[in-house]
Structure 1
């Protein structure tokens, strides 16, 4: 409409990326460093935007940044964030960051209020080393002992403290020992003091440099028992008798001394035993011996007491007696104790007129009790003593009168003062029990009557046959009733008679043998025979009788021999034992049935020919010396069955060679060597022959046996040639097959000979 409006337009390029010229910064304190920031645009151009970018720091106390200029304010680490338009990046900054810090000394010793400057050396990442003592932050765990300001350590109190120096992120620790003595010593380890006296201990400290110092006033002092000894800065005050320990402490060390205030090492009374009569007095003297060897009478100072004031009383060692009895007087002084036994009207011994009393039920006896004293007095104290009994049901005592109430034993005790005496009382008690017979030897069906008699402790006797308890240990052998014994069967038993606590035994034998013998000591016989044994028994009276039919007979091996009423019957050859038992005795008879002691053959060697027969006889010798032909009963064998057979000792040769015949009987064996067709010589009628090729010749073989007989063995012999291409042979006929020389061998019954053959054309 003819009008114009002007609009200003600013066109800016888009930032594609943002970069900085340093990846990170490592600054010293108060140092600065410039960072350049470059922006890259999407049109490919770039621009330095250091002064245009925005900067922010996560820890402004460590670093500050203005237009890219970074300054280190305090030790530590921080991160700077750089922003420009739509892009941002970060920059890590370390200010005064060290790799490590080290103290030049890890232990420092100071005197009280003393000081010492310590250097703290920091090592930086670039290897540089610097003293940061003034810059480090110092802390202490015991501010009252030691502390540090800018590296200067000051000791404020005795003790040990740990100081820590921190610089940046690193720290180190130093141990500070203030006024630390190597050794503390008291001038006295043990101190003897009198009550209410004063004393003094001196404390000396020795330091590392060898110097010593009196620190008595500076130490802490204490007493283990302030009621006995008090202490202040080494000054001691003894308040009461006793022992105490004094402690002196300085820093972390302490020492101790023992203080003895009039404590006796020994406390002795002049007598350990006092014997007095009622109403008498006696003064005891108490003496104390001390550690320094001195002694003193402390009778009046001690604490005196008595355990029974009804008997005696004591004050300052003086004993006053009141009545008969025993009391113990105790004296205590300085922690020690001693005692004295006080006897008032106590006799040395009391004696009863009788120590053993025997009574029947309802009986009584008077006993007198006499007391003997040390001064020689003897007093009748029967009625003054205290009488007691161990069993009121059996016996009682009243003023020395002992009465028997029931059967048994009791102990009566009389007591006077501390002394006592005992009287053993037996009422109706058996002294012994006897039976009329000590041993019985009886026959079956016999009866015997026994009598029992009792002797009591008061020496009275009584027939108690009907009163005792009779028993038999083996009622099958004998029984007993009211002393009457009846024998029932062979055997032994023990009869027992019992009355009260007494027992008597009587051994009984019924048809028992004291000896048993057999008519033979042993038996040796063979099958189909029998033997009889007669058994004789001798009893304890010496009488003998034949008990063969009554005895018990046994065999150890019924497969060898059987036995019945002494008759032994063989079953098989072998050994066994027959045992006969009667009246508690046994006898054994060894038995041998056909047992062979030796075995012999009538031939020791056999030489025969094939087809011949030879008879061998076998004789056995039994253990009793008798002999028997057992050829037909023996077991025969031939070791080489191809050479022959044997039956009932008859050997038949079936082949040539050597073998052995064995005959066995009764566990014994005989071996007989056998040679069949055994030759002495083997000859040929010629030993050398010449033949034309193709011709033949006959040679004969002659055998001479060991018995001298001869035989033509041309046919049965074996003929062989050393070379059949020159000469061949069969049954003694030699055939020349080629020119040359050959050896013909003839073999018969393990012997051989040769013929030399020469063949020509």
Structure 2
């Protein structure tokens, strides 16, 4: 738990919600909590990518049926964006799957994996299982995919999580795709430390702090694996809406098919809820499909539509529906199908050609392209920087269509930039012109000026530091540039300290601990700021022990001096008494001895002769003295 009025950095918004719950106040980059302590959490001004993933995670498909995969990024401000158009795809075995654009075509039976690459990040794989083309025309209901929830949950020790499985089915005879809860029908499995075992049901028990993987299997199809992070019980799992998923997440179906979807809401406390009836549904292409009821679509025309929903100001993950044109067989073909119970398969080349024809048809149907425009018209960028161009086809009726992914991009100086689907990367300093071509139609030219690489971020080599009092710390600043190079800029940046009573800057990047406390250090250069380094200054226990021992020694020495001085004074006093009156001196010594013995807890009765004995000695001394003086007087 943070200290009172402490400001935390270095954690994402999702981690903050999971650990501390909902904040009392939210600003753009600052969250405030008021219970059980008052503290703040500061986030970077520029959101960074916290997750990069692709869906579906697992997909089972028959030979000859094309499918699509979607790529998403989640930022640390909890926003999610579809980046499918900007990723690069990588297929583990290209003999099983072939790619055309963002569409994938199964070639033969087998298993492979597909990855996506985006801004230097690699996604988790999508596991693809290609099955032989079905030849039994009597099969009416087919299981397409399985999804399980909650998604990658956090859990407490000595608790349990109840998972649910939803299957997406195709009923070919009724031309219907629907989603059904099959939690009680599937076989559940858990994996711990690489060992997989079958679970007794959908409830998974968590005992110790560890990572558990959960998945299920039904009719030969495996669900995506969900990662369960078992943590200690220091934070509360709130009953707060986390994400909304639409099932199916991606689907390819014929015209005329009815699709009955489900919306599943997941909460931070791992509760799931079917919110199909509560969700505000919407689609972006009403020409391809019609929303006839909550979660129910009627596929009308060849094309692609995106389905989304909103609940309590929370957007769902989108689902993509690809509508294929339904080809009706002739009477002769129909009788042949019934007689032989076989399905005619298209070759992969036919599928690719049909896909390209569909893309061209969707872009140009019933319209003539009048011109082709690209944006931006001009741009100045730094070496290594990337910018996205857009290409729009303008038709004779005045409407426009985005054709960025379908045009051919060219540069007047190919050595200066590289172009892929409108994404321009600066390779060398200089100037160049960018154009797009759609058939014989050329776009306007965009002039690009490429300047030397510019600074995009600054990283420090320290995070949270504990520093001894009167010691120094060195912090190194590394600049990250648009050309992906890095440089030590410690001596170039301006250093800032938020508490100069605790830290003092001795030289560039070197700081001295002045007194115990905490301070934050960050640097700035060319308008770019680094994240702060928190420095906690303390006095080490060894130093405290040394100072304490020194104080004790000084006190003992002072006490000894005082005692010695008192003793000397008493000795001088006794000497004076002895000179004046020996008898009084003897008495004084006797009394002082008794005091000393009493100080050490010793009884004078056991260690000294009684006082009466001292009196007797005194009397004898007195008699002898008198006799001595009497004899002397008599002699005289």
Q: How high is the TM-score relative to the length of structure 2?
A: 0.22
Structure with more strand by fraction: 1
Q: Which has the larger radius of gyration?
A: 1
Q: Identify the structure with bigger relative contact order (alpha carbons < 8 Å, sequence gap 6+).
A: 2
Structure with more helix by fraction: 2
Q: How high is the TM-score relative to the length of structure 1?
A: 0.19
